[in-house]
Amino acid sequence: MSEAVLKVQSLTKKIGKTVVVNNVDFTIKKNEIFGLLGPNGAGKTTIIRMITGLINRTGGSVMINGFDLDKDFEKAMSQLGAIVENPEFYKYMTGRKNLLHYARMSSSKISPERIDEVVKLVKLDHAIDKKVKTYSLGMRQRLGVAQAILHKPALLIFDEPTNGLDPQGIREFRDHLKLLASEGVGILISSHLLSEMQLMCDRFAIIEKGHLIYDEENSKAEEIVDAINEVVFTVSDVETAVNILKEEFTTSPILKQDQHIITLSATREETAAINSSFIKNNIAVYEINVTKKSLEDKFFEITEQEMRKSV
């Protein structure tokens, strides 16, 4: 099948005269965790509901692991596992009986050995034969992951998966997803929790008022966040250093300067080049401190740029 486990093109949803999602395109590949970021009401859940077939699309196409959602709906759905909002189970039944119930509904045969395999994967061995009503929220979330991966899908989708989880539960969930991605699964996560998405995702797109305003197709999330940093040089001769920066490094603007300190914006490569130039010109570099931008910084930078364009 295709290296792209999800390909969304010109995805559009209108309700009456209101355009809820407008002409959205993105692709998710095997082995990657893709974050769909945006504030509440931006259109993230609507996009996920269209991809999973829960609501109709006004326009556009969805391909899941090479299968067209319109032409091969059943085959496309067989490649998909999803938790949209909170996972729901029969609380009076054990975790195992819930998984057996879902296994019987699957279009592909799921063996008891496969159930044991996913239970071990999500670390529910100790509780799988207890009733779900005794489970914590984190345990129910892990049972949801187990249910979603029973049939070995190529694509997993989670909508706000860490809502209500404590820090330990969030970390465990993140570790489970990274393990699944390492085994070849493509994962789509929507969230507004930017700090957590930075730790979890390989790549991301930003949705604002139904529009895809940012999608770095060929870069990893860490590369995007680390692209331009705030760098503080402590040097022996600030005046000469500033002249070098103005002459040789015009793309690295000086933010602030003091008696022995220069603060500027620079990429990692520019920082190394600036340091070499200072040393070449007999300027002693006593210290270099780098403050990396967070995904939150990047998110607000992009959304503010978009707001200025629309004014």
Three-state DSSP string of 237-271: CHHHHHHHHHHHCCCCCEEEECCCEEEEEECHHHH
Q: What is the CATH number of the domain that holds 281?
A: 3.30.70.80
SS3 state of residue 28: strand
Residue 132 domain-assigned?
yes
Q: What is the CATH number of the domain that holds 155?
A: 3.40.50.300
142 and 55 in a single domain? The answer is: yes
**Model pLDDT, residue 283:** 93
Band of residue 162 on the pLDDT scale cut at 50, 70, 90:
confident
Q: Among residues 224, 213, 190, which one has the least CA distance to residue 296?
A: 224
Residue 308 domain-assigned?
no
Residue 93 domain-assigned?
yes
Name the more confident of 160 and 272.
272
pTM, rounded to two decimals: 0.70
Q: Note down the domain range covering 169.
A: 4-220
Task: Tell me the average pLDDT across 60-83.
Answer: 93
Tally of domains in the chain: 2
265 and 176 in a single domain? The answer is: no
Residue 270 domain-assigned?
yes
**Model pLDDT, residue 223:** 46
Residue 81 domain-assigned?
yes
List, for residues 187-227, the tens digit of each pLDDT value.
999 877 777 777 888 888 888 888 887 776 644 544 444 45
Length of the chain: 311
Q: Among residues 251, 204, 202, 203, which one has the least CA distance to residue 231?
A: 251
147 and 243 in a single domain? The answer is: no
Task: Tell me the average pLDDT across 159-164.
Answer: 78
**Model pLDDT, residue 71:** 94
96 and 58 in a single domain? The answer is: yes
Report the DSSP pairing between strands 59-64 and 261-266: unpaired
Neighbours of 178 (CB within 10 A): 14
Residue 302 domain-assigned?
no
142 and 78 in a single domain? The answer is: yes
**Model pLDDT, residue 298:** 63
Name the more confident of 307 and 61.
61
Task: Kindly report the average pLDDT of the chain as a whole number.
Answer: 85
Q: Which two tokens stand for residue 171?
A: 């970390």
102 and 158 in a single domain? The answer is: yes
**Model pLDDT, residue 253:** 80
Residue 141 to residue 48: CA distance in whole angstroms: 18
